[in-house]
């Protein structure tokens, strides 16, 4: 049964996502040549570029200060916003060198702070690239703060202690994402006490005018469904026009990403489209929201109710976080509740929040199926929840009337959907669609690992990339598919050039690419990362590759798993698996290369 829900902020960490070619930047290229032909357009474009980097830098610097002050939740929120500035800008980040380099270094730097290793975050370099002017002392202090504590143990000890006590407690406090869950608006809503001023409706001329507008809007059925207009609804309107303004503005903005999809699905399921604004109160439109009560996703399903409506939870997926599946499940659950209460939407919404059992008991005690008469017998959160949603619907349908006409909703989140083979590595999908694993995870928040489920599964990829990805996957060998990779070819490049830089023979390359005479566009590289090395006598120990860029590479022996290699190398199995896009229990083929961050 649906319980009160709190949500997890979509953790961009695991969650730092890359938009790549999904956004369109006008139709112009920011190049010096266009300065000669279209100086005004280029000047405007440069102003926009500077605005994006400056806005991102503002949040990044706030995050650094919060991190220095040990306010880690605030730091994480501002780091997320710093990345979101790029992603929500509507600009193709790849089309401009400054944006591309600033964004790339930003995501890498945040990753290094959240998952520290012996490679320190390059905050000074990031500041110089983006033109942020971050104080060098602050940059160095933060870099030291997030570094793992140095251990006096031997080289066989783990990078970071995973259990037991430590003489240096700060070794367990590195990074800034020590707490991945964050209270949703529903948490505050349950405790919210409206002020005397917010409760004023009859004596407030503006509030009284808005109240009469609500009565009119409901009576003429312009909202698509009916409910009893109550002064408490206007009281929540008053709240959002005052101290709750930023919450409403954020929700109205983020709604643009999902509202068109939600309206379509609700309409298909026979639910009034405006009821979909429930998603704003539930999760603030955060697909990976997760509450203390184990409710998850845009629509905050607990496991039991999610399962009732076909949302699977396995080691590979949690479909409560899916965009479309969870939205349809929500509409179906609301249809069930509306039918249960004879089309009374206040009671249906109350049931969505606290479960139909609580609503049924309140109705029995009130002696009538009326939300406002059953109100005293409902849980406190539910008493606030229903008028909150109705106030949100009124504001969202006429933002100008309520002082929110300036809010421009975010662009609709665009993506293609393709069916991929079982256990497909997301790294391959990212390479094939010109994006990153992080952005693939962002588009598919139901995935719990960097691998698709062990069954054919529908995955979202950046908009316009479906045909390209499908064409490449048709070339991939069925056996050892995840040992292959995708690479782009340069104009005039030959198979021999590619063979030289990949360590894969010309014959293997041609065989993997349907015997093409010349490489063109993206090509499949079988057994990627296999390099030619000088022959040496085999030993029982795994072969260590030369250290490069702070990363060592070892080859798996027969019967190896990620956990076994982690134990041999003295590192965390969980972190090693994450670093290589695998699971700790993943079985490895003989010779499979595993990257190990240097200590």
Q: How far apart are CA 112 and CA 561, in angstroms?
A: 26
From the list 253, 298, 277, the residue with the least C-alpha distance to 412 is: 253
Distances (CA, A) of 130 to 78, 106, 232, 444: 17, 9, 48, 29
Q: How far apart are CA 514 and CA 492, in angstroms?
A: 19
Query: Is 282 tagged catalytic?
Result: yes
Q: Which one from 84, 182, 282, 381 is the annotated catalytic residue?
A: 282
Q: How far apart are CA 520 and CA 489, in angstroms?
A: 6
∠ CA 175-181-187, nearest 5°, is: 140
Q: How far apart are CA 215 and CA 201, in angstroms?
A: 13
∠ CA 50-51-54, nearest 5°, is: 80
3-state secondary structure of 521: coil
* Residues whose CB is less than 8 angstroms from the CB of residue 437 and which lie 6 or more positions away in sequence, other chains included: 426, 427, 430, 450, 581
Q: For residue 460, what is the enclosing H or E element?
A: strand 457-462
Which residue bears the tokens 């320190």? 120
Please name every residue paired with 462 in a beta bridge, in sequence order, or none if there are none.
415
Report whether 298 contacts 286 (CB < 8 A): yes
Q: How far apart are CA 186 and CA 254, in angstroms?
A: 17
* Residues whose CB is less than 8 angstroms from the CB of residue 22 and which lie 6 or more positions away in sequence, other chains included: 92, 414, 415, 435, 462, 463, 464
Catalytically annotated residues: 282
């Amino acid at each position: 049964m649906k319980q009160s829900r709190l949500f997890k902020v979509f953790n961009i960490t695991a969650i730092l996502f890359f938009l790549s070619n999904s956004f369109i930047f006008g139709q112009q290229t920011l190049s010096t040549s266009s300065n000669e032909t279209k100086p005004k357009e280029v000047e405007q474009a440069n102003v926009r570029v500077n605005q994006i980097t400056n806005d991102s830098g503002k949040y990044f610097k706030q995050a650094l200060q919060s991190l220095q002050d040990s306010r880690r939740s605030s730091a994480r929120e501002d780091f997320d916003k710093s990345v979101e500035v790029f992603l929500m800008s509507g600009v193709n980040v790849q089309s401009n060198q400054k944006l591309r380099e600033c964004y790339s270094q930003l995501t890498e730097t945040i990753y290094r702070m959240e998952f520290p290793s012996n490679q320190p975050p390059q905050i000074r370099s990031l500041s110089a690239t983006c033109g942020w002017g971050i104080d060098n002392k602050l940059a160095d202090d933060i870099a030291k703060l997030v570094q793992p504590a140095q251990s006096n143990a031997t080289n066989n000890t783990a990078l970071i202690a995973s259990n037991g006590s430590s003489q240096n407690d700060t070794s367990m406090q590195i990074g800034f994402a020590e707490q991945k869950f964050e209270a949703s608006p529903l948490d505050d809503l349950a405790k919210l006490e409206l002020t005397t001023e917010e409760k004023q409706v009859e004596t407030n001329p503006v509030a009284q005018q808005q109240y009469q507008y609500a009565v009119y809007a409901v009576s003429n059925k312009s909202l698509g469904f009916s409910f009893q207009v109550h002064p408490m609804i206007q009281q929540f309107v008053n709240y959002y026009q005052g101290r709750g303004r930023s919450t409403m503005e954020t929700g109205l903005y983020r709604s643009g990403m999902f509202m068109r999809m939600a309206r379509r699905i609700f309409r298909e399921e026979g639910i009034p489209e405006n009821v979909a604004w429930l998603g704003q109160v539930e999760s603030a439109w955060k697909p990976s929201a997760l509450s203390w009560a184990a409710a998850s996703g845009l629509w905050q399903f607990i496991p039991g109710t999610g399962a009732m409506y076909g949302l699977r939870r396995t080691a590979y997926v949690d479909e409560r976080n899916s965009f479309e599946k969870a939205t349809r499940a929500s509409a179906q659950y609301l249809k069930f509740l509306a039918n249960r209460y004879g089309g009374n939407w206040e009671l249906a919404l109350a049931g969505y929040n606290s479960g139909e059992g609580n609503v049924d008991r309140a109705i029995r005690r009130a002696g009538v199926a009326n939300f406002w008469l059953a109100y005293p017998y409902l849980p406190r959160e539910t008493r606030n929840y229903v008028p909150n949603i109705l106030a949100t619907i009124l504001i969202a349908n006429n933002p100008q009337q309520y002082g929110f006409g300036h809010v421009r909703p975010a662009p609709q989140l665009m993506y293609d959907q393709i069916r991929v083979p079982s256990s497909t590595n997301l790294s391959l999908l990212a390479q094939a669609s010109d994006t990153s694993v992080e952005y693939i995870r962002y588009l598919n928040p139901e995935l719990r690992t960097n691998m698709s489920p062990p069954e054919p599964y529908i995955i979202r990829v950046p908009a316009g990339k479906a045909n390209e990805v499908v064409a490449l996957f048709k070339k991939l060998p069925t056996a050892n598919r995840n040992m292959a990779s995708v690479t782009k070819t340069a104009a005039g490049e030959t198979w021999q050039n590619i063979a030289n830089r990949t360590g894969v023979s010309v014959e293997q390359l041609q065989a993997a690419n349907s015997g093409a005479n010349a490489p063109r566009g993206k090509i499949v590289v079988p057994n990627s990362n296999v390099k030619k090395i000088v022959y040496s006598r085999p030993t029982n120990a795994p072969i260590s590759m030369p250290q490069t860029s702070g990363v060592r590479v070892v080859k798996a022996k027969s019967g190896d798993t990620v956990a076994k290699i982690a134990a041999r190398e003295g590192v965390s199995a969980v972190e090693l698996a994450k670093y290589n896009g695998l699971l700790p229990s993943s079985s490895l083929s003989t010779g499979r290369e595993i990257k190990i961050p240097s200590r």
